[in-house]
């Protein structure tokens, strides 16, 4: 039986996946056993193949939230779902997103590592081995953001709680309050209250402005 590291590679761009697959295949100790192109597919493939490590992009559409031309960040939701099903799951995030609030929310979701797509090939290989062995690995720029002494006050989302940021993301994707309430096991009244707090904290007045700030900060893509 092979002792190679079994990897599930998740990215919604086939060309990007192919590039990282070639890079990882250069190391004979790593096997790409499955690929996925959406958050839901990542969850399904994880349950089917039980990989040693998931390499996960954040910028992916969820399979049921692609309305109104918005691409949603299904990666974060996929991490939470995989970890809820398997608390021992090891996820290494590999993404272009390298500013708050993403690193903090990725850590809260349970990921073991975070690299940007600007990383050197040898750093990716090193991170794969670190995470596969139960340790954590964060790029230097990400460690600086996660440092409690580091200031993230420039991010408007630093004012939001974890739950508020989740609801903000859903609203930015165009999901109605009733759908958000059902998904998060909340009452519509509670979701409306969170929405009011979000608007107040961000200094905006309506959902249109909420979508604009989400696009401006790459929470969703137009």
Tens digit of each residue's pLDDT (9 = 90 or more) over 200-210: 999 999 999 99
> Is residue 47 situated within a structural domain?
yes
- Shared domain check, 58 and 113: yes
The structure tokens listed for 139 are: 């790029």
Q: Alpha-carbon distance 111 to 130, whole Å?
A: 13
The percent of residues in the chain predicted with pLDDT above 70, rounded, is 84
Q: What is the pLDDT of residue 192?
A: 95
- Shared domain check, 196 and 102: no
> Is residue 140 situated within a structural domain?
yes
**Domain count within the chain:** 2
> Is residue 127 situated within a structural domain?
yes
- Shared domain check, 172 and 70: no
Considering 116, 146, 176, which residue would you say is the last residue of a domain?
Answer: 146
Residue 194 in this model has a pLDDT that exceeds 90: yes
Give burial (CB, 10 Å; 0-12/13-18/19+) of 143: middle
CATH code for position 76: 3.40.50.2300
- Closest listed residue to residue 110, CA positions, set 86, 130, 127: 86
Q: What is the pLDDT of residue 66?
A: 41
Residue 50 in this model has a pLDDT that exceeds 90: yes
The sign of the torsion formed by the CA atoms of 170, 217, 114, 25 equals positive
- Across the range 210-219, mean pLDDT stands at 80
- Shared domain check, 141 and 186: no
* Residue 103: C-alpha distances to residues 44, 65, 168, 181, 214 (Å): 24, 23, 17, 26, 16
Q: What is the pLDDT of residue 61?
A: 63
- Shared domain check, 131 and 66: yes
> Is residue 222 situated within a structural domain?
no
The structure tokens listed for 134 are: 């139960």
Count other Cβ atoms within 10 Å, centred on residue 178.
10
Q: What is the pLDDT of residue 1?
A: 47
Tens digit of each residue's pLDDT (9 = 90 or more) over 94-126: 988 766 667 877 887 889 999 988 888 899 999
Count other Cβ atoms within 10 Å, centred on residue 66.
15
Considering 121, 146, 171, which residue would you say is the last residue of a domain?
Answer: 146
> Is residue 221 situated within a structural domain?
no
- At 74, the pLDDT band (50, 70, 90 cuts) reads confident
* Structural domain for 209, as ranges: 156-216
Q: What is the pLDDT of residue 62?
A: 53
CATH code for position 187: 1.10.10.10
Considering 146, 179, 199, which residue would you say is the last residue of a domain?
Answer: 146
- At 39, the pLDDT band (50, 70, 90 cuts) reads confident
Q: Are 120 and 112 in contact (CB under 8 A)?
A: no
> Is residue 111 situated within a structural domain?
yes
């Amino acid at each position: 039986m092979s002792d190679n590291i079994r990897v599930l590679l998740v990215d919604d761009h086939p060309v990007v996946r192919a590039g990282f697959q070639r890079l990882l295949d250069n190391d004979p100790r790593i096997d790409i056993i499955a690929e996925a192109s959406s958050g839901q597919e990542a969850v399904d493939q994880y349950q089917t193949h039980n990989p040693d490590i998931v390499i996960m992009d954040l910028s992916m559409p969820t399979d049921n939230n692609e309305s109104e031309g918005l691409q949603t960040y299904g990666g974060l939701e996929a991490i939470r779902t995989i970890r809820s099903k398997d608390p021992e799951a090891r996820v290494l995030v590999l993404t272009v997103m390298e500013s708050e609030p993403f690193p903090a929310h990725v850590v809260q979701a349970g990921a073991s590592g975070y690299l940007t797509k600007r990383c050197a090939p040898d750093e990716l290989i090193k991170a794969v081995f670190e995470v596969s062995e139960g340790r954590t690995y964060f790029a230097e720029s990400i460690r600086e953001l996660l440092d409690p002494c580091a200031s993230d006050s420039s991010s408007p989302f630093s004012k939001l709680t974890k739950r508020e940021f989740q609801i903000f993301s859903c609203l930015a994707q165009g999901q109605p309050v009733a759908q958000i309430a059902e998904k998060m096991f909340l009452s519509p009244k509670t979701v409306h209250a969170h929405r009011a707090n979000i608007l107040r904290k961000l200094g905006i007045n309506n959902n249109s402005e909420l979508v604009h700030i989400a696009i401006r900060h790459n929470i969703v893509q137009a």
